[in-house]
Amino acid sequence: MASCMRKPAVSDGWIPLFNGKDLNDWSIKIAGYPLNENYGQTFRVSNGVLQVSYDHYTDFGVKYGHIFYKQPFSAYLLSVEYRFTGEQAKGGPGWALRNSGIMFHAQNPQTMGKDQDFPISIEAQFLGGNGKDERTTLNLCTPGTNVVLKNELYTPHCINSSSRTFHGDQWVKAQLLVLGDSLVKHMVETDTVLVYTKPQIGGGNVINFDPAVKVDGKLLKEGYIALQSESHPVEFRKVELFNLEKYMDNPAELNKLLQRLRTN
């Protein structure tokens, strides 16, 4: 996949992927529908917030959806503020209650099959508390991918983070530090809750894909960023990214910058 990084669009270096006004910079892919058919207005903007909503659905079925930012990135700090709201859509699977996420290092949405359920990608999974059970967030799931965890190839589909549980409809700040095909960190509020390396194509948990796209063993150095629709309403009020590509050859400068970004 060709790299097409751009310089930061704002003076402090943060690129606002979601502009708070519209979805013009995004592409939509919902399983069972062609690219950019926004079934039931699943993805919409209201009062400056990007909403994932199901009020026009009669039954969720298997309409797993993703909204992709228009360009790929390789090395970055991604910051997202999200919250779950309301009730799960009728017909949504039990495991998808208060469940959403960020897909990153994802395949180009133009290469997804019409009936493909999830993009080949790494997922930072959001889980909201159900009011009684402990449910960590910023977990790792791997549709068509694997990672290296504690120096060993990790092939199960999901692993929990060490985060606390966020019950109710409260806003949660999630951050991802993604350094090409080397290091990935999941961070919630001020805590680092999961660390792994060498994201790569491999494994299962994705269907109806083009076999030419799924090159098992290929390290994922870059890819698209997508927000997920899995049957529970969710809102995003901030999606912004600090591009770190130009710092990758200078570890000392990179670490200094990351310390400043994390303390602001």
What whole-number distance in Å separates Cα of residue 116 and Cα of residue 139? 22
Q: What is the pLDDT of residues 77-122, one digit of tens each?
A: 999 999 999 999 999 999 999 999 999 999 999 999 999 999 999 9
Phi and psi at 95, nearest 5°, equal -70, -15
Q: Would you kindly state where each structural domain of the chain is located, as residue ranges?
A: 25-263
Task: Residues 25-263: name the CATH superfamily.
Answer: Exo-inulinase; domain 1 (2.60.120.560)
Predicted TM-score (pTM) of this structure: 0.93
Residues with Cβ within 8 Å of residue 224, at least 6 apart in sequence: 68, 69, 71, 72, 103, 104, 105, 106, 107, 108, 109, 119, 121
Please give the pLDDT value at position 264. 58
Lowest-confidence region among 73-77, 221-225, 254-258: 254-258
- Residue 262's pLDDT band, with cuts at 50, 70 and 90, is confident
pLDDT at 9 over 50: no
